Structure 1
Amino acid sequence: MQNTNQLSIDFDGDHIRRCEDLPTEPAPGNYVIIDVMFFSTTVVELLAAGAQSVHVPEERGLEFEYQSDNADAKIGGGRTEAFEPEDGYDFYNSPSYVQSVDVTGRPTSLTSSNGGRAISNLQELGDDDVDIYIGSTTNAAELARHLPDDEKTYLVSAGSKGEWATEDDLGAAMIGRYLNDYPLLDFEVEMFQDMLQVAKGENYVERHEVRRRDVEEFVQAMNSRSVVPKLVGGEFVDVNESPLQTAAQPATSD
């Protein structure tokens, strides 16, 4: 597996490799939060499935307060060892699991220890000149197409437990390439997919069928979604009103 320290993330902007490295005084611009496995990808899937919005609370557990104020909301939280939502939750951070939840026209609420924390920090530290987006491998091309050319863009790899995360750096590299109008070549797509397969360990996808689907049917399905999640009025909504009709780059199969 290639070391992501050697990845070239070449675009007109900055790359922040951990949510802990966010500046205390964020400069004006667009901040793309990238938590590929699995917060970002799950948010994209919720909006792709027709969710009205995605609320990101400051910490786990506050989703219940949101639901009390929004009776029709579906909320996501922790999971059990059997890969089912913990009591009281409708789903958890899994792009494949949320396919079984009817979120059409409903508000939703979900956070994570890394991507969610980055969003909360930016909301607290930023001002009106800071716009927050969510990016993943699944919406990289559309997200890059949507971001204004005349504004600075910062790619924020959420990381994992204070460390760099291979999958987030791959997502950042991919988005950066599209921002630079230099899409991945076919052999690079296959290389990225191979690296994503083992980003969390060679046997990670074998731990449970849900995780296998999460990685192989969603995370590796590059550019399969046209959703552009942006924080508007305190919640993420899809702001892509005119998606470009392009062929997806699905995961390869043996």
Structure 2
Amino acid sequence: MSRDGPTNRLDRRLIERCEEIPTDPPTGNYVVVDVLHFSNTVIELFRNGAEYVHITDKRGNEPGFKSETPEARIGGSTMPTYEPEPGYDFFNSPSYVQEVDVAGRPVSMTSSNGGRTVARLRDVLGPDSEVYVGSTMNAGALAAHLRGSDRPTYIVSAGSQGDVAIEDHVGATLISRALDDIPVSTAEREVFRRQVKVAKGPGYAEKNDLRRRDVCEYAMAFDSRTVVPKLTGESLVDVARTATRTGAASD
């Protein structure tokens, strides 16, 4: 801590793109941030009751998972009409998955940025490291879960097709600030929300009602969720839900 208050350790935590993940990364907690739209889709799948979210090594493996797990729902690419490609139940959109019945069901999905980053970390990390999924929506809840861990935390902005993604950096900043107990002022919050809204271009949120909701009702809804997705084996589970159930059972 500096004389002026807590110090934001984002510089030492941040990995700016999936492509910058080291081949032999140090042990730690790794948080994958893909705000538009992988992270928020995962969060909403759990919020709507998904049992777990299996992350495939690559797009196209999801039907194989469903053939072995018939009750599963699977996510794929989007059609120009903003519907899932044939054979899939949804695509990466926190708005779209509100209409998909996932309660009590397993889910399988990936994405070209966030899902790929989770798979990459799964391949290169040792057994003493952990992988989480974070976003603007669950920054505070995730930081509360990780605060006090004896492992360092690294925040991976997934990026977009190899480029830096400003919305992922906003999510990373919120998580890091919460870890360091540095409040976000009202003025900063409005600047960050504006950056998220225009990150994919000034007209992105207006091009389709579904994408408008993805951006304005989900990505810009800072600290609105308590879901904490954590990788266990090949799948993400919501450890906040597990903790709640354990606490209820012990009461």
TM-score, length-normalised on structure 2?
0.91
Whose helix proportion is higher, 1 or 2? 2
Equivalent residues in 2 for 1:57-76 (5 A)? 57-76=56-75
In structure 2, relative to structure 1, the CA distance for the partners of 1:13 and 1:80 (3 Å cut) is same
**TM-score, normalised relative to structure 1:** 0.90
Aligned twin of 1:196 = 196
Cα separation, 2, equivalents of 1:116 and 1:27: 21
Change (3 A) 1:15 1:72: same
Return the offset for 1:84.
Answer: 0.4
Distance, in Å, in 1 between the alignment partners of 2:192 and 2:88 is 33
How far apart are the structure 2 equivalents of 1:153 and 1:228? 15
What pairs up with 1:130-145 in 2 under 5 angstroms?
Answer: 130-145=129-144
Give 1:201 deviation, angstroms.
0.4
Deviations 1:164-183 (A, max 9, x none): 00100110011000000112
Q: Equivalent residue for 1:170?
A: 170
Confirm or deny: 8 A CA contact 1:55 1:235 kept in the other structure: yes
The CA RMSD measured in Å over matched residues stands at 1.5
Instruction: Specify the SS of the correspondent of 2:214.
Output: helix
Equivalent in the alignment of 2:77: 78
| Number of equivalences | 236
Paired AA for residue 31 in structure 1 = Y
2:48 aligned partner: 49
- Match of 1:121, SS? helix
Conserved 8 A contact 1:51-1:106? yes
- 1:23 CA displacement: 0.4
Indicate conservation of the 8 Å contact 2:8/2:182, yes or no: no
Aligned position for 2:229: 229
**Offset at 1:12?**
8.6
Deviations 1:155-210 (A, max 9, x none): 00000111100100110011000000112112211111111110110001111111
In structure 2, distance between residues paired with 1:62 and 1:242: 32
CA distance in 2, matches of 1:180, 1:10: 7
Shift of 1:42: 0.5
Q: Secondary structure at the match of 2:13?
A: strand
Q: Which residue of 2 aligns with 1:101?
A: 100
Query: Distance in 2 between the 1:171 and 1:140 partners?
Result: 7
Cα deviations by residue, 1:216-236 (Å, 9 ceiling, x for unpaired): 110001111100000113210
8 A contact 2:139–2:171 mirrored in 1: yes
Deviation at 1:13, TM superposition (A): 4.7
Which amino acid letter does the alignment assign opposite residue 230 of structure 1? K
Residues 1-16 of structure 1: pairs in structure 2 closer than 5 A: 10-11=9-10, 13-16=12-15
Amino acid of the residue matched to residue 77 of structure 2? G
Shift of 1:10: 3.1
Q: CA–CA distance in 2 between the matches of 1:87 and 1:218?
A: 26
Cα 1:12/1:148, change in 2 over 3 Å? farther
Corresponding residue number in structure 1 for 2:213? 213
Q: Is the 8 A contact 1:13 1:152 kept in 2?
A: no
Report if the CA contact (8 A) 2:147-2:179 is conserved: no
**Distance (Å, rounded) in 2 between the aligned partners of 1:9 and 1:39:** 26
Q: Which runs of 5+ in 1 are unaligned?
A: 1-7, 244-254
Q: Distance in 1 between matches of 2:8 and 2:202?
A: 24
The answer for unaligned runs of 5 or more in structure 2 is 1-6, 246-251
The 3-state SS of whatever aligns with 2:88 is coil
3-state SS of paired residue (2:39): helix
Equivalent residue letter for 2:187: F
Matching residue of 2:4: none
Determine helix, strand or coil for the equivalent of 1:20.
Answer: helix
Deviation at 1:11, TM superposition (A): 4.3
